Amino acid sequence: MMQAPFRIALLPGDGIGPEVVSEAVKVLQALEEVLGATFRFQTGLIGGAALDQTALPLPPETISICNSAQAVLLGAVGGPQWDSKRPEVRPEQGLLQLRQRLGLFVNLRPAKVLESLVNLSALKPDRVRGTDLVIVRELLGGIYFGNPRGIFARNGERMGVNTEVYREHEIERVAHRAFVLARTRRNKVTSVDKANVLESSRLWREVVKRVALSYPDVELDHMYVDACAMRLIENPTSFDVVLTTNLFGDILSDEAAMLTGSIGLLPSASLGEHSALYEPIHGSAPSIAGRKRANPIAAIASAAMMMRYSFRKEDVADAMETAIERVLKRGVRTPDLPGRKRPLTTSRVGDLVAAETCKLLRHATSKKPSRRRK
């Protein structure tokens, strides 16, 4: 029996977003024959592209497309041509609004150092070799969304105010996700806070400890955010799953990304109860947009995460990730990765990953024993 189509909303966005999303779509479409399933794509506007056409960073039509899809694949938002916009109509507001609309409360940011690229890391190879961690960032609470907030005049001068707010249920739901994820990895969670100073962090630590009681097989330790920032540089291989707040996760995940050598390689997943959004962590890189120089691997790896978390196709996700590693091991490079005199184009890298993924899946299928009738 044919499998129902996988429904995916595509939000290419700005800069190199359309180029890298196209390569992720190419890989998925190449898998249709092997999987015996089809992908149905609907494309919507977001960010600067949406502002130019609709004057809104997240038009109602895009929200409707995302609500009817099983998963959303996003490229990138933003660019200097929209910097003069009012804060509420900046391209980045489209992404923040979408996270809220879809209820995406947890962000997964893996950082894995591949042996073929270990020399590209900002740190010495012997320091980062074997690094394989995931940062689990709470996405809808904390200082980015707390009230009161704003710039106010008081006693003859202006002051800026932002408020860190966390409720127990917000901490509980993201903590459960971190512990469940750890069970599929190395059974270790490091919870990162600032409980020696912040009341919100004291509640965070208390709730995480309580959630941990339901996962006796998972080791839990706690670390202050400043100590964690140092440990990521000193001993990154000591981490497995890092659980932290919205603000701390935003900062630490970018630090962890630099361990790998290039942000052009790293995917992310933002998950809710019923929706999910996948996007490469790199920005819109307007200086190379349209020049066939963009690295599509992060977008393809984001599509692999989609196959794992939204469509429960672990074998497909593994094949896509293994294909990326094999292609890089063969010396394939885009211009952001040194090591090749004539780097390959965005499209050519997509072709190679698609072909390698299909090869891996066909090989795996051929090895499965056939069912015989009794």
CATH topology of domain 108-261: Isopropylmalate Dehydrogenase (3.40.718)
**321: confidence class by pLDDT, cuts 50, 70, 90:** very high
Catalytic residue among 254, 315, 318, 351: 254
* Per-residue pLDDT tens digits for 215-254: 999 999 999 999 999 999 999 999 999 999 999 999 999 9
Cα(32)–Cα(342) distance, integer angstroms: 32
Cα(239)–Cα(146) distance, integer angstroms: 29
3-class DSSP assignment, residue 104: coil
Catalytic residue among 250, 278, 309, 336: 250
Region 1-105+272-366: CATH code: 3.40.718.10
Q: Is 215 a catalytic residue?
A: no
Here the tokens at position 4 are 């129902």
Q: Is 254 a catalytic residue?
A: yes
**368: confidence class by pLDDT, cuts 50, 70, 90:** low
What's the mean pLDDT in 74-102?
90
Catalytic residue among 52, 83, 221, 226: 226
CATH 3.40.718.10 boundaries in the chain? 1-105+272-366, 108-261
Catalytic residue among 26, 144, 188, 351: 144
* Per-residue pLDDT tens digits for 117-126: 999 898 999 9
pLDDT at 22: 98
Nearest to 13, CA basis, from 351, 287, 280? 280
Q: Is 226 a catalytic residue?
A: yes
Query: Is it the case that residue 286 has pLDDT exceeding 90?
Result: yes
Query: Is it the case that residue 98 has pLDDT exceeding 70?
Result: yes
